[in-house]
Chain A
Amino acid sequence: MYHSSTQRKRWTFCNGQQLERCREEANRNFHSKAAATGKVQQNDFRLLKPHEELAICKHYEKRLLDFCSVFKPAMPRSVVGTASMYFKRFYLNNSVMEYHPRIIMLTCVFLACKVDEFNVSSAQFVGNLRESPAGQEKALEQILEYELLLIQQLNFHLIVHNPYRPFEGFLIDLKTRYPVLENPEVLRKTADDFLSRVALTDAYLLFSPSQIALAAILSSGSRAGINMESYLSESLKLKEDRTTLAKLLDGMKCMSNLIRKYELPKSEEVVALKQKLEKCHSLDLLLSTNSKKRKGYEDDEYVAKKPKVDEVGKPIVLFFFFHSNCHDKSNTATETNFCTHSYSFLCCSGRIHISCT
């Protein structure tokens, strides 16, 4: 339940300023890390600023929702909500320049499918990407690379409470205890719209899902011209408790503000930012020669050698998985560590010898 969840305890923040501060800190961290490598100075113009990062995030969030809406088989709303939440949480503490959002977005959806028990095989998942099979393979590889990192950055708090079930609960309650409103079903459509709009904002990180659901109902009621405040005071028994009522109403106002203020970044801006982002990534700022195969394993002193053969699909992927396993827990991460394993196997195109140095 939400009241005992980590979402309430750890991932609900007081106000928007706190969120801003988190993002700024993530940005600053990346700047210092980049400066430490010596390739760029601190506050170099080539690096993104926090508001630019935010714009990129917004754009990719929209892309996430679009991707989920055309997903086959049809993805339930809770999965979409979970994926969106993961994305938001991830970029609260990490910088876009360090991990490209296009991969993280896919990883979020993939992980959300698993957590929410919406079982899609990985092949089926990448089948939804509009790319060539080779591109799909590559994408899958990247997704698997970043999966553990994502889980880590979420601090392993994977359960996300979405406002959709509370919304249903409120509808049931309205139908049972609020005879003033004859047909609460009329509220459903606009409330759904409200919920999908609020998913793009930071509201998930600031309010509890039941509050969001109630806000959806109240706003749709007010849009339909029905005053639902009597529901709050009568049925929810808040007539005596003025402070709580006030706070509730405040929160709802805040949410409506958020929705109103929300605007998707313009496409030219997005294009420019994307280019800048690509340049950042191509600067190869934090990638050393010892690139890690699977992100997130750094703590295990796990070192994998850079794969030499990139083009071929699955067999090579499997081979490197196997090969890197034989380095597991055995080496310390030093530059002078050389592996002398060499493998040779028959491939459809002839014999391939792979040796590791």
Chain B
Amino acid sequence: MEAGGGEAGGRQREAIAAMAMDMDDLGCPRCKTTKYRNPSLKLMVNVCGHTLFEVVSVQSENSKVTTGRSSKNLKRGRGKECESCVELLFVRGAGNCHECDTLLRKSNFRVQLFEDPAIDKEVEIRKKVLKIYNKREDDFPSLNEYNDFLEEIEEIVYNLTNNVDLENTKRKMELYQKDNKEVIQKNKIKLTREQEELEEALEIERQESERRRLLIQKEEQIQQILKRKNKQALLDDLEKSSLPASLLLAQHKDRSTQLEMQVEKPSQVRPVTFSTGIKMGQAISLAPVPKLEEALYTYQPLQVETYGPQVPELGMLGRLGYLTHVRAASPQDVAGGYTSSLACSRALQDAFSGLFWHPN
């Protein structure tokens, strides 16, 4: 709320004013054009509190009031008009406010930020007063004295806003200023230093986020480059090497998954250190995997009940002399995997299958 907040407050005030303005209501008292008719119309306030409208360009929105001469104008009066009217009236540099007939300077007009021009006026006065009465709580030995000080400020501001006892107030201010020149100076310096520190902190934050963003970008770029390289390497390999394609593909797949895992790991590690400063250790269970004891499988050949005498095995047929009585396999048959022992074995199996079986 003190002067330190003034700058930030200025920005805020503009925003608030932009929301508070209603299009139709406000009109220039002189030329009666409303914002409705000319949307880029902006209210200009002068020190006397009356408004004029002007067609505003961007730069003038940010204009700030000069400090020094305004104290003179506080005495003179109020004025509030639109800029076209402002220009008309103040073509010579100074003129009268059309409502209150006080002498005004052109330079003192600035964009109104609050709906009620009186508030704007008070805000201006307060700013000026606080520039002088800029003692802080630490400077006072007790809370009561600090409160008295604040009350004094409020009184002065009130007097100046409502034109009550202007001369006395002004004299009081000058007196105070003379007495506490060093203190005022010191506090001014402190303020500026604080502001600077704040600004620095903000800067650092911004830089940090920038750095992080750049890092992530860089990493992504690296990853993409690597991927592209990998693909290119795969293509080259497929062209040049003599290994089978499936092997190469498998190799490259491995490589690419490895890459991905590498990139993932650093990104996983970082959240651990960032979180509230407490380093969370990754608990890896190193207990040995329990051994499963099972009986080994032993092969038991299949036993099929054929209800008949046993058929000699496929390999034995030749030796036993069966194959001489079977038609020999032609070369075409052998190429397909057929052997005469197959046919022989099948015939014998069929002959002996179910021979001893009887239904009951």
Contact = CB atoms under 8 A, between A and B. Distances in A.
B351 A166 contact: yes
A13 B359 contact: yes
Nearest to B321: A176
B326 A14 contact: no
A161 interface: yes
Given A165-B347, A210-B351, A3 B308 contact: yes
B354 A208 contact: yes
Interface string A1-32: 11110001000111000000000000000000
B353 to A, nearest CB: 4
A170 B305 CA distance: 20
Contacts of B198: none
B325 A172 contact: yes
Contacts of A74: none
Interface stretch (A243-251, A275-283, A290-298): A243-251
A218 to B, nearest CB: 12
A173 interface: yes
A1 B302 CA distance: 15
Interface in A170-222: 170-173, 175-176, 206, 208-211, 213-214
B358 interface: yes
Nearest to A184: B325
Given A170-B351, A244-B356, A1 B321 contact: no
A267 B290 CA distance: 84
B357 A251 contact: no
A197 B351 CA distance: 19
Contacts of A169: 346-352
Contacts of A157: none
Contacts of A211: 354-355
Contacts of B360: 14
Interface residues of A, number: 33
- The prevalent SS among residues of B at the interface is loop
Contacts of B356: 244, 247-248
A324 B229 CA distance: 64
A170 B351 CA distance: 6
Interface residues of B, number: 28
Given A247-B358, A251-B358, A209 B325 contact: no
Interface string B334-351: 000000000010111111
B344 A172 contact: yes
A236 interface: yes
Given A3-B304, A208-B357, A172 B352 contact: no
A210 B325 contact: no
Interface in B209-244: none
A318 B223 CA distance: 65
Interface centre among A170, A171, A173, A209 (most CB of B within 10 A): A173
A1 B311 CA distance: 13
Interface string A33-67: 00000000000000000000000000000000000
A253 interface: no
A115 to B, nearest CB: 17
A13 B322 CA distance: 34
A208 B355 contact: yes
A251 B304 CA distance: 24
Contacts of A353: none
A301 interface: no
Contact of A3 (B309, B322, B346, B353): B353
Given A3-B305, A236-B309, A237-B309, A210 B350 contact: yes
B102 interface: no
Given A172-B344, A210-B308, A1 B353 contact: yes
Contacts of A244: 356
Interface string B312-331: 00000000111011100000
Given A13-B359, A244-B356, A172 B350 contact: no
A210 B355 contact: yes
B357 A3 contact: yes
Nearest to A170: B351
Nearest to A161: B350
B36 interface: no
Contact of B350 (A4, A166, A176, A237): A166
B307 A3 contact: yes
Nearest to B348: A169
B306 interface: yes
Contacts of B309: 236-237
14 contacts: A1-B306, A3-B305, A4-B304, A166-B350, A166-B353, A172-B344, A172-B351, A173-B322, A206-B359, A210-B308, A211-B354, A247-B356, A247-B358, A251-B358
What 5 A-B pairs are tightest by C-beta distance, nearest first? A169-B351, A169-B347, A208-B354, A166-B351, A175-B325
Given A8-B357, A173-B322, A236-B309, 12 more contacts: A3-B308, A165-B351, A170-B351, A172-B351, A173-B348, A175-B325, A208-B307, A214-B351, A214-B355, A236-B355, A247-B358, A248-B355
